[in-house]
Chain A
Amino acid sequence: MRLIDLSTPEGATLALLPELLLTAWALVVLLVIGWRHKTASDMRFVGVLSLGGYVLAGLATAWLAMEQARPDGLAIMVALDGFRFASNALLVGIGAIITVMSLRWLERQGILAPEYYVLLMLATVGMMLLAGAADMMTLFLGLEVMSISVYVLAGYDRTRRASAEAALKYFLIGAFASGFLLYGIALIYGATGQFNFTLIGAQLASTEPTLMAKLGMGLLLIGFAFKVAAVPFHAWAPDVYEGAPTPITSFMASGVKAAAFLALVRLLAEVFPAFVELWRPILAALAIATILIGNLVALAQTSLKRMLAYSAIAHAGYLLLPLWAHSDDGTAAVLIYLIGYSITTVAAFGVLASIERAGARTVQLTDLEGLYAVRPFASIALSVCMLSLLGFPGTFGFIGKWFLISSALHQGEVLLPIVAMIGSGISIGYYIPVVLSMTLKPTRTRSAHQTIRFPRPAKLAVALCVAAIIILGVWPKPTLDFATQEAVQLRRGATPIFAR
């Protein structure tokens, strides 16, 4: 164990090493772009170069985790615990995979502006700060760094109207969400006089809850509900997801959502445990609405990207269950589910991106018909992703579902798991048709299928993700151990539910 005094500059630098390294690398890359920003090969060069930042951030996180770095005294500004390291690892991983997926895709779409990769790195830094914040200021800083980068990325395909529309919508709604969040922070500060999570938590636990604090919490929750696209704060998501460049959609559906959920876990566990009776019904209502509406509306979609957008909304609903559980295994379940969900989403969008053609309309379900005959590996990969999203045994999605439902059941709650299962039952109505039209329907557009070219880096990344889905689904024990051990470090004192 290595104790780090976070009140000193050295300590803070050490604690923030992953974020700082990634930021520094982003700036270096930005300088390099000054020379190399004209051709497709420049684009690729910058993309590959930016991977170094993720490697550095990953190594720094691994070092902190290996050293078992813990705050010496209060965790000021940034948390130092297993949960943050696990979050960092997940977010850095997502950032790196999205970079790989974008490598040839951008050139093919005619987007030649290598700042894309810098923005992606900065967004990842924001996500890491958001998920690792131990202070309202860090939280807000992380949120904004992440959001502003993603606003730009969503509109990166400037010449497409849908992309511009997505950016504007996302920006307007995001600004509102930030406003709610900031107002919530202000009210909490007004009620407690503190910014630090631990101190606010102690204050709220020891004093009679004031209306101001309750309102503050409510506004914070609304802000996060916007970010994770929980019903009824989801209306922006489908348009933004459909309009944004596909790798960025994938980034939003996996990384941004994961970061917001990880931050919410920490917020609810450290700041608002005293208000558990208050926020549980809110989360339950959000979860039920999100699961049912997300799944039902997804049924009606014909555009694959839009269908995945609604499916992402539904999965946000599932993820509210372990948050509701407010327990160690709930925290573990969030991590496990996020790992499985992120891998799957990234892979699914990766396949989707390869099917897209520049300037063409979005991929419809009918465009996939008979894909298996021409591109068997792409369709097997997408099928595995669909089954994993469905929570089919043998995939990591099932393990996630198992933990998620257990975490709510272990609190004696039956209704939420049943709603989640009903949602899962509805979702077979839109996941299976994807498999059906790829493998069972006859090919109508053979020539179109033959033009599908998987960029080699994306192919590799998708293959890795699909292998991970299956391997982790069959042998999940190491991941489960990791998650249940890291999760326990977030909240001490609670007893793990699984006998060990």
Chain B
Amino acid sequence: MTSFLASVGYDRWILHVLLILPLLGMPLILLSPVRAARWIALVVALLEFGLGIGLWWAFDASNPGLQFVTDLPWMEGYGVGYRVGIDGISLLMVLLSVVMMPLVVWGSWRGIDHKQRGFYTLLLAMKVGMLGVFVSMDMFLFYVFWELLLIPMYFLIGIWGSANRLYAATKFIIYTFVGSLLMLVAILWMVFQVGKATGTYSFAYTHLLDNAAVLAPWGPWLFVAFALAFAVKVPLFPFHTWLPDAHTEAPTAGSVDLAVILLKMGTYGFLRFAIPFVPAFALSKTTGLVMSGLAVIGIVYAALVAMVQPDLKRLVAYSSVSHLGFVMLGIWGSTVESVQGAILVMVSHGLSTGALFFMIGMLYERRHTRMISDFGGLARVAPLMTLAFVITAFSSIGLPGLNGFVGEFLVLIGSFGRYPILVGVATTVVVFSAAYMLWATQRVFFNRFTNPRNEGIGDLNFREIAVLTPLIAAMFWIGLYPGPLLRRTEGAAKRYIELISPHLPEATLPGPITYGAPR
């Protein structure tokens, strides 16, 4: 496979093709008849998937640096270029994006019945933005993709959302736009300072990273500016209030994309930009304590809030806040295990939450409600869906043998050395998450069949099975055999730790706590 891909020059064109295909698809959808819209979107999505999946093999796991690098001029003389490339961290995010693409299109097949052309155009636009964020190796390009993404999401929520959509859309765009404003100042300031020190004004990521030492005096300011943008996206505890609204009001496709990709952009930003640029401040004892403290507050608080949600989608939205807290904890755990765990949680949260949102969407299509109390005893009428939901719920809780467990476990053991108390607190969430997830499952699918209107709920049809099967298969695969995934992220994680290790404060627990690198 690898040699075949190399023979077609795969590594030279793949990232560009991934970015351009949806761009080509957009006008095509707008110009073609309404009935063709979803088909074109599906073809583009399948092409993206078919081409993008090759990255899995073409990616050289032994090379910890950037791969598939391209550096083309865009605004020559102003330091801005079209610079793209991926490493182990972005690889998984890109793969997650291309895998989700056809599923999202297919998942919206029935749910979207008006303004289909606009819907699928925006869906493709969002894909461009998402992929762009993960492959950009130029701060200017990154910022452009980062911001551009808001527009399609805004309209997806605002046009195809449910009752309270305008409020949610406005809240979403204001939170995320305001959050990232200071990031622009920070980027320009970095470019200026590094340029002054080295004589080269460039937005290139590698250039800035290589000379990041220059930035140390402004560490606190730069970190705050970046952290604000990323923390809103993650979302970290006090900045999370937009997420439940956006998730709840968005159409299924929007919710899935939001949960699977958009949130990961925040944690990805921390790993890629916020910490490596100013490691001394970002990893100092106080900052570390604040960030991981907020992460743990988010983990526990969101889990508790999730327990009392009457709305299924809101429940899953809060569970996202909780899971993303694990990622943040793992990032600040700053060991190879915790960082790999964080990346793995990013992937597995995408799989399980994506599947949950799909299923909630399927329930909504059937019954036009998401209230837990409206359901009950669905196992009788929809056994297959019940099975899928239970598996996904277990995966979300972190049952060993499924994907959720591996990542969270790695995060916890990896971070224990640095934050024993916080990890202890975070561990309690296993109980809470089991409580909210299982309790919800019980109330929706088991219990007594009380509401006669649920009689008509049919089981999963072929399309829905096709959407869910890959996700559930991936859950088992990662849960049972995470090796290939970890192997691909290991290089990047190790390199990241090497990069920041001079700035790491002493771990709280004395003595060597070394776990073998997971194989």
Contacts and interface: CB of A to CB of B under 8 A. Distances in A.
Interface of A: 387, 392-394, 398, 401-402, 405-406, 409-410, 414, 417-418, 421-422, 424-425, 428-429, 432-433, 436, 439-441, 476-477, 480-481, 484, 497-500
Contact of A439 (B77, B155, B165, B181): B155
Contact of B169 (A387, A402, A440): A440
Interface stretch (B40-48, B171-179, B390-398, B469-477): B171-179
Contact of B188 (A409, A432, A476): A409
A424 B181 CA distance: 8
25 contacts: A387-B151, A393-B147, A394-B148, A405-B185, A414-B189, A417-B185, A417-B188, A418-B182, A418-B185, A422-B181, A425-B177, A428-B173, A428-B178, A429-B174, A432-B173, A436-B158, A439-B155, A440-B155, A440-B166, A441-B166, A477-B76, A480-B77, A484-B77, A498-B79, A499-B200
A499 B189 CA distance: 16
Contacts of A410: 192
A410 B195 CA distance: 10
A391 to B, nearest CB: 9
A180 to B, nearest CB: 34
Contacts of B76: 477
Residue among B79, B144, B155 with the most chain A CB within 10 A?
A: B144
Contacts of B184: 401-402, 405, 421
A476 B185 contact: no
B78 interface: yes
A406 B188 contact: yes
A476 B75 contact: yes
A409 B78 contact: no
Contacts of A432: 170, 173-174
Given A428-B178, A439-B159, A498-B201, A414 B147 contact: no
Contacts of A481: 77
Contact of B148 (A393, A417, A480, A500): A393
A480 B159 CA distance: 37
A186 to B, nearest CB: 41
A417 B181 CA distance: 10
B56 interface: no
A125 B44 CA distance: 54
B33 interface: no
Contacts of A476: 75
B158 A428 contact: no
Given A393-B147, A409-B185, A480-B77, 18 more contacts: A392-B151, A394-B148, A402-B184, A409-B189, A417-B188, A421-B182, A421-B185, A425-B181, A436-B166, A436-B169, A439-B155, A440-B155, A440-B159, A440-B166, A481-B77, A497-B201, A498-B78, A499-B79
A409 B158 CA distance: 36
Contact of A499 (B143, B147, B165, B199): B199
Contact of B177 (A402, A406, A428, A480): A428
A54 B77 CA distance: 33
Interface of B: 74-79, 143-144, 147-148, 151, 155, 158-159, 165-166, 169-170, 173-174, 177-178, 181-182, 184-185, 188-189, 192, 195, 199-201, 221
A39 to B, nearest CB: 42
Nearest to A500: B77
A405 B201 contact: no
B178 A425 contact: yes
A480 B166 contact: no
A401 B159 CA distance: 30
Contacts of B181: 421-422, 424-425
User: What are the 3 closest A-B residue pairs judged by CB atoms, nearest first?
Assistant: A393-B144, A440-B158, A421-B181
Nearest to A410: B192
A439 B158 contact: yes
Contacts of A394: 144, 148
Nearest to B200: A499
Contacts of B185: 405, 409, 414, 417-418, 421
Contacts of A500: 77
A476 B199 CA distance: 23
Contacts of A421: 181-182, 184-185
A71 to B, nearest CB: 29
B192 A409 contact: yes
Contacts of A422: 181
A414 B221 contact: yes
A236 to B, nearest CB: 30
A401 B185 CA distance: 10
B143 A393 contact: yes
B77 A498 contact: yes
Nearest to B182: A421
A418 B188 CA distance: 12
B440 to A, nearest CB: 31
B497 to A, nearest CB: 32
A402 B166 contact: no
A426 B174 CA distance: 9
